[in-house]
Chain A
Amino acid sequence: MIGISNIIFLIVAAIGIGLFVWQIRKIRKNIQLGRDLVLEDNPSERINKTLLVAFGQQKMFKRMLPAILHLFVYVGFLVINIEVLEILIDGIFGTHRVLGFMGPFYDGLMAVNEILAALVIVACAIFLWRRNVTRVPRLATGVEMRAWPKMDASIILMIEIVLMFALFAFNIADLKLAELRGHELAGAFPVSSMFVNAFGADAGTLATIASVGWWIHIIGILAFMNYLPSSKHFHIIMAFPNVYFSKLVPKGKMTTNPAITHEIKAMLDPSYQPPAPEVDAEGNPVIQRFGAKDIEDLTWKQMMDAYTCTECGRCTSVCPANITGKLLSPRKIIMDTRDRMEEKGEHPAIFRPNHYKEMGVERVETTEEKTLLRGYITPEELWACTTCNACVESCPVNIDQLSTIMDLRRYLVLEESAAPASLNAMFTNIENNGAPWAFPASDRFNWADELYLPSKN
């Protein structure tokens, strides 16, 4: 049964999968540019979270309509992948619907597949409508939503629709062929059977359509897979590890830099012996920046965040600074991180980073500096953050936008002393009188002077 087409298929599949693995390795390398961080505590809690938030789509359900539509596409993706497995086997061994021996189970699987495929088409069409016609603000506006991110989203939706149509074309033609030949086709096809006469009754044409549909579907999937690393759609893979490695401690807890602790302890107590500094391969002490200026100052988890972002804009749409017209957009912080990481490290096949200066975006006053800070993200954005965690709360894939904002802020303050003047005044007050306002510490207990207590007065 194995003929020339099987060999062609094998070659196409090998190239497709090989390219994908090659691209994944690049991304892995990029993520590894980040600082070390150990996130191996509480595996059971992490698994629970992954099941709820990633597999269970828990946080999507804060917004009902997109949640339900997204669920169709998500479940469709998972279930139709079982059929892809069959396609691979059929393609390699020249079999036809090799899983058909499973009988009623196969019938059920095919029926569910068909219904899901139809729902995927409906959902993707509505998504395209929301992006391009009704232009839902969080999807259509924002300085970071330039030509490429918008086009990327529409490309993905259209590919998904084409893939589903190819699947239907294959099923319809296959079904009609079986009918003409007078034998029963394995599987149940509730959608295709409605359109069984769509392609006429010529056996030759039908065989061609079935085979073209089959090939478009499989080549489409391989192309789609290789498009993912260039796209926001990469979240379909990254969402799972990103949720697994997400923050388990209360959102209000920010990281503490132990290097600073040692420094202060040594300052307060001259006999304190700080641990020996880390050394690199050549034995030179590693001098770490305080805070983050560029991507290598961020942790690998913050890099992973950037690869997980779907650019859905939920974070930006709930950001109090953004709502009131400030420049800050948490989504932009994450998208900029990915752009800068791919500019500095490895980059995928399609790579169109947002260079705001070159694009003439008025509000984002970036500089020529080749760093994440100032080259992409301006201090004005960072200082607009109220650290309210609304962005973190809203993210369906547990991205921690705030941690990146904080690390960039820390660099501004600790390495450049570039805080706004009023904040410097606040620092001075804390240093001098132990309060952010300029009141003498000796007045701290004065509130009790006017205390009225029925028991004592």
Chain B
Amino acid sequence: MAEMAANGQEPEVLFWVGCAGSFDDRYKRVTRAFVQILEHVGVKYAVLGTEESCTGDPAKRAGNEFLFQMQALTNIEVLNGYNIKKIVTACPHCFNTIKNEYPDLGGNYEVIHHSTFLQQLINEGKVHVQGGEAFKGKRITYHDSCYLGRANDIYEAPRDVLAALDADLVEMKRSRANGLCCGAGGAQMFKEAEPGRKEINIERTEEALATLGAEGVIATACPFCMVMMNDGVKNKEQEQNVKVFDIAELIAQAEGLTK
């Protein structure tokens, strides 16, 4: 972004990578897949690189409003400094925070989640979902992210994106508004669970495995969900049969953009 600004240019859209997309080895692959799609369709985009910082979401959900606002006000200064108007992100937590909570603190942007962005690219015919891996007949189940679904009523965009793959889409018993959380929201990602009978991600993974049958793909649209589902699949020793992919990875694979 700094480079673009130095050349007096403004991006069409700023890709907010997020902490998981920047640091988590698994989710970096999602970041790269999404960038490959952005490059492929020729969108003029930018990233903040090292100028990006945590949105403050985990601090806010953990109750640390002070730290949240510190992060938010600092980020808003950077974003406003570059005159950013439109932001796309692959993280529902970043999406929710920037879209819903930054406006009160002076950050007003058009914020869209990458599921909606991908849906638009497919609808506009910019992504054909051809030339790469074929998903026809493969069983895929989509796990709703709470911060995309219930928090922001986005249920159809990720499903529309997956529908473009022409795969065998199956729904879990608890889906859309009734979807079960992966267990990571509300800063649970960063702490041990409270004492109980079971881990939430195991409960959800069991449901996904029962829906998929012998093999298939659990599609996610959130870095935390991805970690939790991956851990669940490993815990159930099903990693050979069931893979967890972000919707952007599936599209990049179908479009033949990955190595």
**Residues of chain A at the chain B interface (Cβ within 8 Å):** 62, 249-254, 256-257, 260-261, 263-265, 268, 290-291, 318, 320-321, 323-328, 380, 383-390, 392-393, 406, 409-414, 419-420, 422-423, 425-427, 430-431, 434-437, 439, 441-448, 450-455
Please name all residues of chain A whose beta carbon is closer than 8 Å to the beta carbon of B56 when the two chains form the complex. 430
11 sampled A-B residue pairs with Cβ under 8 A: A62-B178, A251-B151, A253-B100, A256-B104, A257-B69, A320-B183, A324-B193, A325-B196, A409-B63, A420-B192, A453-B39
Rounded to whole angstroms, the CA-CA distance of A200 and B56 in the bound complex is: 77
Rounded to whole angstroms, the CA-CA distance of A431 and B62 in the bound complex is: 14
The answer to whether B197 touches A447, judged by C-beta atoms less than 8 angstroms apart, is: no
Q: Which B residue sits closest to A422, measured CB to CB? A: B191
The answer to whether B100 touches A250, judged by C-beta atoms less than 8 angstroms apart, is: yes
Please name all residues of chain B whose beta carbon is closer than 8 Å to the beta carbon of A441 when the two chains form the complex. 50, 53
User: B239 near A: Cβ within 8 Å?
Assistant: no
Please name all residues of chain A whose beta carbon is closer than 8 Å to the beta carbon of B192 when the two chains form the complex. 420, 422
Please name all residues of chain A whose beta carbon is closer than 8 Å to the beta carbon of B23 when the two chains form the complex. 435, 437, 439, 443-444
Rounded to whole angstroms, the CA-CA distance of A260 and B22 in the bound complex is: 29
The total of interchain contacts (Cβ-Cβ below 8 angstroms) comes to 224
Q: How many residues of B contact A (CB 8 A)?
A: 73
The answer to whether B200 touches A321, judged by C-beta atoms less than 8 angstroms apart, is: yes
Contacts known (A318-B178, A325-B198, A409-B63); A437 close to B150, Cβ less than 8 A: no
The answer to whether B58 touches A388, judged by C-beta atoms less than 8 angstroms apart, is: no
Q: Which A residue sits closest to B259, measured CB to CB? A: A452
Rounded to whole angstroms, the CA-CA distance of A423 and B186 in the bound complex is: 11
Please name all residues of chain B whose beta carbon is closer than 8 Å to the beta carbon of A388 when the two chains form the complex. 146, 150, 181, 185-186
Contacts known (A252-B100, A445-B50); A437 close to B63, Cβ less than 8 A: no
The answer to whether B22 touches A414, judged by C-beta atoms less than 8 angstroms apart, is: no
Please name all residues of chain A whose beta carbon is closer than 8 Å to the beta carbon of B196 when the two chains form the complex. 321, 324-327, 384
Which residues in chain B, 176-200, are within 8 Å of chain A measured between CB atoms?
Answer: 177-178, 180-181, 183-200
Please name all residues of chain B whose beta carbon is closer than 8 Å to the beta carbon of A443 when the two chains form the complex. 22-23
Rounded to whole angstroms, the CA-CA distance of A455 and B151 in the bound complex is: 38
Please name all residues of chain A whose beta carbon is closer than 8 Å to the beta carbon of B257 when the two chains form the complex. 454
Please name all residues of chain A whose beta carbon is closer than 8 Å to the beta carbon of B211 when the two chains form the complex. none
Give the shortest distance, in Å, between B146 (CB) and chain A (any CB). 4
